[in-house]
Chains A and B, each alone.
Chain A
Amino acid sequence: MPTTLSRRASALLPFALLALAGLVLTFAIQERYHHRILTLTLVWATMGLSWNIISGYAGQISFGHQAFFGIGAYVTILLIVHLGLTPWIGMLVGAAAAVLAAVLIGFPTFRLAGIYFALATLAYPLILRIFMDFLGYQEVAIPMIRERAWVYMQFLDPRAYNLLVLAAFLAVFWLSHAIERSRLGYWLRALKENEPAAEAMGVDTFRCKMAAYMLSAAPPAIIGAIYAHAVLFVVTPDAVFGLLVIVQTLVVCLVGGAGSKWGPLLGAAIMVPLSETLDMTLGDRFPGIQGIVYGAALVLVMLFAPEGLYWRFRGLLVGRRSAPAAALQPIASPQPDAAAPRAVATDGTPILEAHGVSKAFLGLRAVEDVSFVVRQGEILGIIGPNGAGKTTLFNVLNGFLLPESGEVRHRGQPITGLRPNRICRRGIGRTFQVVRAFPHLTVLENVMVGAFVRDAAEPDARARASAALARIGLETRADLLPTGLTTLDLRLMELARCMATAPELVLLDEPLAGLGRDGIEVMMALIRRLRAEGVTVAIIEHTMHALVRLADRLVVLDHGRLIAEGPPAQVTRDPAVIEAYLGKRWLRHAEGLRA
């Protein structure tokens, strides 16, 4: 593993290169309109980077980011016009206004699912645009300052603007870099991939989305203010709140590749010079050529390379460190986790209790008056025919659903109705049947998402994640990407991710589904070992053969009711259970056979 020093250096290197490239271009370019293209490229790259924070990392596609751009431009300009305030301060006020707007917009809007979020964000810039028109600000010209123009961000030399925008770009590039390496960044990518799973891993998804939104709102305001001074000179509502602003942002980000800090720059470097040059040369004869270029870019990207050029190239060049089809050799001798905190107590203390839990959907009673206890150190299996309510029960235990009646207690404390991320922090982990790995992160980084619940700093989380992988026996896969991993490996990674949250109880949802005979054996051995290390396990499974060997006790649900409880040998002979699985008539039939 690279040392902290060399990692620091490797982080600064691209930064330095970009700064250098920017400076070289600024001073090498002669023509005025080339300077303009450079300014515009960096403006849109910065906008793209900002949009990327909420829409690329967090996956919440916003069609309203131009609202922040326009707020920055207008606040700054109006402060100059009405108060004579220098834009160097004015743009900070604009940024604050934009962040406030982000809070106000984000609060109600993040509750909305998917497409509704995108549609809602669309409305705000439209409203702002109409208001600006209405308030009489159809055209606000920046007052020309003669003396000490630099105080008012007015420069005759276009290179000054190049440098200004370069500085803004580098700042947001650094911000993106910092986010990517931080706990927030890992959590954002987790919630983008699978929000419920992220919650179950301890991520407070609402707070993360708000944080990302606020961070993504400040840079557009600043760049909007600069744009007004460097390019517009006269601010109109359409120029800063209009469709073309969000379109250019989308284009650079999508063509370049969302979800990465390089993507927007790549996209901007290609699209902006292209469209500006076309506009300049052909724009008179063909008005609207820019719009066509951008529109075509969006269509082509969505059809052929929706992930963006950056990811496409990366995939090809680095030949991707995907897992070879070699067989897995893990469970030979994984290390017990040295940091495992809990003592192995098999005194039968109840860790989790459900009392009279009932949950109905649209009149259908999915879980009805279910009570049982999970004791420390045991492996409890929860079984039942299809539709018996097992997953609903887990969802109640885990905080995804609120029961109509009954309560859930953890070590005596009621936890009914707590958000899943809080329940995870208390030490109750959960895995899901369908593993959604984060495709652009290595196996180790995937596991780090869980580790961040316990450690705020990246190096600590990394160490904890490594330990969790070793505990599961997956350390040889640590630096691979999840694509190409076998189902078993993915399940193991999911388990490692769960273990990295340092749980004392894990709720496993069908961990054996879809595994072959060998995979099932590996999983079972692993679960037994985890229990030996002090983790209590509750499993939902269909695969009876495995579970009767694995579980200490079984709890059987049928049509939402608990119909049997006890050791496997006893439960599988229980008439009520046989009836539930094979039908009432089989029972009599089987008795008849034995007679």
Chain B
Amino acid sequence: MTFADLVQYVATGLLVGGVYALMSIGLALIFGVMRVVNFAQGDFMMLGMYLTYFFAIGYQVDPLLGALITIPPFFALGLLVHRVLLVRVTGGGDPQREMDAQLILTLGLSLIITNATTMILSPMPRGIRTAYATQAFAAGPILVNQARAYAFLMALLLAAAVYVFLTRTDLGKALRAAADDPEAAGYQGINVRAMHGIAFGVGIGLVAAAGGLLATYHPIEPTVAVNFIVLMFVAVVLGGLGSIPGAFVGGLLIGLVQSLTLLVLPFQLQNVGVFIAFLLVLYLRPQGLFGQRMRSV
């Protein structure tokens, strides 16, 4: 194996990792502000893929643009889901019990979404055909699939937008304040429950957009959720539960791990590398890279 091969693996890993990073930011935001581990995150991503697909098929909207268009409706959906479901199991007394309860509730939600989609839309996988999905950029000996490259760039763009939102706007800062210390946030006049809803909405919107980007090169089917939810968990834990820059880096790293695992293990075992990395992080450094000390539970 040559150096060029290695660079190829790294490049592919990073490109894929960019989209993972975007998915994971959504999960991290939700956890950071609400302390909810949203098992259904992968399912919302899957729904985002489908919506993007329908825009592509029905209105000839390029999926890269379609991904952006999914954000507002999914933001609204997130607000709704929070208001109807999650509000009842957050903000109570016992944080530990609550986290278990939320994990189970969102697991249930995930099952409903996956199976309802299978029922309504059929389990047959679909794909979006774009001109660039089958073409590649050549950078010397390295080949970079165009769809992945564009998806990567869009993911970076969106992540940057999130960064600007969180650091430059009052609302974004209020979200971070609510994540840091909900009681003190209340004293400043911040409606923490509304912040929860907004965090959830943004988190869902981001993961739906990530789904749209993923749809440029990944088949669309209801079972996609299950494959990615664990990757997202790993990325978020690796970066440090609740840390958004951590989730971004975690996503990139997971893409790399996945890609580089192919150097040593056969294709079917690709995700084993990711799962083992997961266990290692949990055992050796559970607070992750950007170790944000968990609000004591």
Write the residues of chain A forming the contact surface with B, with a CB cutoff of 8 angstroms.
61, 63, 108-109, 111-116, 118-120, 122-123, 126-127, 130-131, 133-134, 243, 247, 250, 254, 286-292, 294-299, 302-303, 306
| Chain B 77-109 interface 0/1 with A at a Cβ cutoff of 8 Å (1 = within) | 000000001001100000010011111110111
Q: Once bound together, how far apart are the Cα atoms of A221 and B276, in whole Å?
A: 24
Q: Once bound together, how far apart are the Cα atoms of A262 and B233, in whole Å?
A: 34
Q: Once bound together, how far apart are the Cα atoms of A383 and B133, in whole Å?
A: 72
B99, B111, B226, B275: the one within 8 Å of A295 (CB): B111
| Interface SS of B by simple majority | helix
A61-B100, A115-B100, A120-B282 given. 18 additional CB < 8 A pairs? A112-B286, A115-B103, A115-B241, A122-B230, A123-B275, A123-B278, A127-B276, A130-B269, A130-B271, A130-B272, A247-B111, A287-B118, A291-B112, A295-B107, A296-B112, A302-B104, A302-B105, A302-B108
Asked if B297 lies at the interface with its beta carbon under 8 angstroms from chain A, I say: yes
- Does the CB pair A126–B111 fall under 8 Å? no
Give min CB distance, A66 to chain B, whole Å: 13
Give min CB distance, A137 to chain B, whole Å: 12
Give min CB distance, A245 to chain B, whole Å: 13
Q: Once bound together, how far apart are the Cα atoms of A561 and B55, in whole Å?
A: 69
**Most A Cβ at <10 Å: residue of B37, B110, B113:** B110
- Does the CB pair B109–A288 fall under 8 Å? no
Q: Once bound together, how far apart are the Cα atoms of A127 and B268, in whole Å?
A: 11
Asked if B189 lies at the interface with its beta carbon under 8 angstroms from chain A, I say: no
Collect the chain A residues with CB atoms within 8 Å of residue B237's CB: 116, 119
Considering the complex of A and B, which 4 residue pairs feature the smallest CB-CB distances, nearest first? A298-B108, A295-B111, A291-B115, A288-B115
Collect the chain A residues with CB atoms within 8 Å of residue B226's CB: 243
Asked if B3 lies at the interface with its beta carbon under 8 angstroms from chain A, I say: no
| Interface SS of A by simple majority | helix
The chain B residue with its CB closest to the CB of A55 is B100
Beyond A115-B103, A303-B89, whether A289 also contacts B275 by CB under 8 A is no
Give min CB distance, A471 to chain B, whole Å: 32
CB contact list, B240-297 vs A, under 8 A: 241, 266, 268-269, 271-272, 275-276, 278-279, 282-283, 286, 297
Q: Once bound together, how far apart are the Cα atoms of A306 and B101, in whole Å?
A: 8
- Does the CB pair A291–B282 fall under 8 Å? no
Beyond A292-B111, A292-B115, A298-B111, whether A116 also contacts B272 by CB under 8 A is no
Asked if B125 lies at the interface with its beta carbon under 8 angstroms from chain A, I say: no
Collect the chain B residues with CB atoms within 8 Å of residue A111's CB: 283
Chain A to chain B contacts (Cβ below 8 Å), 29 pairs: A112-B282, A114-B99, A114-B100, A114-B297, A115-B241, A120-B279, A123-B278, A126-B275, A130-B269, A130-B272, A131-B269, A134-B266, A250-B104, A287-B118, A288-B118, A288-B222, A290-B115, A291-B114, A292-B115, A292-B119, A295-B108, A295-B109, A295-B112, A295-B115, A298-B104, A299-B85, A302-B101, A302-B108, A306-B101
Q: Once bound together, how far apart are the Cα atoms of A243 and B223, in whole Å?
A: 12
Asked if B184 lies at the interface with its beta carbon under 8 angstroms from chain A, I say: no
Collect the chain A residues with CB atoms within 8 Å of residue B96's CB: 114
Asked if B116 lies at the interface with its beta carbon under 8 angstroms from chain A, I say: yes
Beyond A130-B272, A131-B272, whether A287 also contacts B286 by CB under 8 A is no
- Does the CB pair A288–B278 fall under 8 Å? no
Beyond A118-B100, A131-B272, A286-B119, whether A294 also contacts B282 by CB under 8 A is no
Collect the chain A residues with CB atoms within 8 Å of residue B278's CB: 119-120, 123
Q: Once bound together, how far apart are the Cα atoms of A289 and B27, in whole Å?
A: 28
Give min CB distance, A281 to chain B, whole Å: 14
- Does the CB pair B268–A115 fall under 8 Å? no
Q: Once bound together, how far apart are the Cα atoms of A119 and B232, in whole Å?
A: 12
Give min CB distance, A488 to chain B, whole Å: 22
The chain A residue with its CB closest to the CB of B284 is A108
Give min CB distance, B159 to chain A, whole Å: 24
Beyond A114-B99, A116-B286, whether A303 also contacts B112 by CB under 8 A is no
Beyond A113-B297, A134-B266, whether A302 also contacts B89 by CB under 8 A is yes
Beyond A112-B286, A119-B237, A127-B272, whether A295 also contacts B110 by CB under 8 A is yes
Collect the chain B residues with CB atoms within 8 Å of residue A116's CB: 237, 282, 286
Q: Once bound together, how far apart are the Cα atoms of A199 and B222, in whole Å?
A: 46
Collect the chain B residues with CB atoms within 8 Å of residue A109's CB: 282-283
The chain A residue with its CB closest to the CB of B277 is A123
Q: Once bound together, how far apart are the Cα atoms of A115 and B278, in whole Å?
A: 14
Asked if B123 lies at the interface with its beta carbon under 8 angstroms from chain A, I say: yes
Beyond A61-B100, A115-B99, whether A303 also contacts B282 by CB under 8 A is no
